[in-house]
Homo-oligomer: A and B are copies of this chain.
Amino acid sequence: MTDYFTETGSAETVNARISPDADARLAAVMASLVRHLHAFVKDVTLTEAEWETAIAFLTRTGQMCSDTRQEFILLSDVLGVSMLVDAVNNRKPAGSTPSTVFGPFHVDGVPERKMGANISLDGVGEPCLFRGRVVDLEGRPIAGATVDVWSDNADGFYDVQQPDTQPQHNNRGIFVTGADGRYWFTGIKPVSYPIPDDGPVGEMLGHLGRHPWRPAHMHFLVSAPGYDRLITHTFVAGDDYLASDAVFGVKAPLIVDFARTDAGPEAGPETPLWQADYDFVLPPA
């Protein structure tokens, strides 16, 4: 008896077509996707008009993508899918600094800077001293750890978003710890900014009554031989959007007090208005 399509057995009929010669992992992923997608259609009894709206939405989302805009990543971000993929792939032992989404603004080829350097190349913004240690789960300093930091400028834009008006590598730098595991550098206190909301994803957020803002944050990629690579942000305590980050990136242990303070001797020629102390805890690889 041929297994023609029925409402009840819909997913099974589709998945039975996957060849036994197909890659086993691909087959498992696609079969699960089909099961969940069909369950969704059945749960809500998706109407034909809603299906047409979804087709048009996905089409516009794809057509919004360009070399400088990835609307499908944005969609994944605002639906919490990006954070979930991060979560299931980066389950860390208790006490580790938690990971969060990578985001689209990291660049390779940023120069290693001398400890204490100022990464605010345009000098615009509220100067801040960032300092802390890279340590293992027992609190012991990790020497030779690479701290790769990237952040927005005082207007909420990354250098790559404004190549004509920001110096290259503005608010970016790589620092390598010594025997004490310490890092310190000057930059600016980051500011909150909206994700690009002039496309289909922004429209969707509007219909859902959601805002596009991300709370102020610094991005960090921290790595050291023998330890798990950490991709995370630090967030500014007290930011208006901590509880409603458009991409769900906030975790409580990543919120940092930015204290008003005088500069220490490590800060270089600038006089920071702010100081942010944060230790990164890396589990073994």
Q: Interface on A for B, CB 8 Å cutoff?
A: 2-7, 10-11, 13-14, 17-23, 26-30, 32-34, 36-48, 50-51, 55, 58-63, 65, 70, 72-73, 76, 79-89, 91, 207-210, 242-244, 248-252
Query: Known interface pairs A46-B29, A85-B46. Does A14 touch B62 (Cβ–Cβ under 8 Å)?
Result: no
Q: Could you tell me if A5 and B251 are in contact, using CB atoms closer than 8 angstroms?
A: yes
Q: CA separation between A63 and B59, bound complex, in Å?
A: 8
Q: Chain B: which residue is nearest A86 at the CB level?
A: B48
Residues of B near A249 (CB, < 8 A) are: 5
Q: CA separation between A14 and B60, bound complex, in Å?
A: 23
Residues of B near A11 (CB, < 8 A) are: 80
Q: Which of A18, A248, A249 has the most CB of B within 10 A?
A: A248
Q: Could you tell me if B44 and A29 are in contact, using CB atoms closer than 8 angstroms?
A: yes
Q: Could you tell me if A28 and B13 are in contact, using CB atoms closer than 8 angstroms?
A: no
Q: Could you tell me if A44 and B73 are in contact, using CB atoms closer than 8 angstroms?
A: no
Can you list the 7 inter-chain pairs with the closest CB atoms, starting with the nearest?
Answer: A62-B62, A19-B209, A14-B80, A7-B87, A36-B40, A5-B248, A36-B36
Q: CA separation between A70 and B56, bound complex, in Å?
A: 10
Q: Could you tell me if B45 and A89 are in contact, using CB atoms closer than 8 angstroms?
A: yes
Determine how many copies of this chain the complex contains: 2
Q: Which of B18, B59, B85 contacts A208 (CB 8 A)?
A: B18
Q: Which of B38, B43, B72 contacts A58 (CB 8 A)?
A: B72
Interface of A is mostly: helix
Return 26 A-B CB contacts under 8 Å, by A number.
A4-B250, A4-B252, A5-B83, A5-B87, A10-B80, A10-B83, A14-B79, A14-B80, A17-B210, A20-B209, A28-B44, A29-B44, A29-B50, A32-B44, A36-B37, A38-B81, A45-B88, A47-B85, A48-B89, A51-B82, A58-B61, A58-B62, A59-B62, A62-B63, A62-B72, A63-B63
Task: Tell me, rounded to whole Å, the shortest Cβ–Cβ distance linking A144 to chain B.
Answer: 25
Q: Could you tell me if B243 and A2 are in contact, using CB atoms closer than 8 angstroms?
A: yes
Residues of B near A79 (CB, < 8 A) are: 14, 33-34, 37
Task: Tell me, rounded to whole Å, the shortest Cβ–Cβ distance linking A137 to chain B.
Answer: 20
Given contacts A2-B252, A45-B89, 20 further A-B contacts (CB under 8 A): A4-B243, A6-B87, A7-B87, A10-B87, A14-B248, A21-B209, A27-B208, A29-B46, A29-B50, A32-B40, A32-B44, A36-B37, A36-B39, A37-B40, A41-B81, A47-B89, A51-B81, A59-B70, A62-B72, A63-B65
Q: CA separation between A59 and B29, bound complex, in Å?
A: 19
Q: Which of B7, B65, B208 contacts A88 (CB 8 A)?
A: B7
Q: CA separation between A26 and B21, bound complex, in Å?
A: 40
Residues of B near A62 (CB, < 8 A) are: 58-63, 65, 72
Q: Chain B: which residue is nearest A31 at the CB level?
A: B44
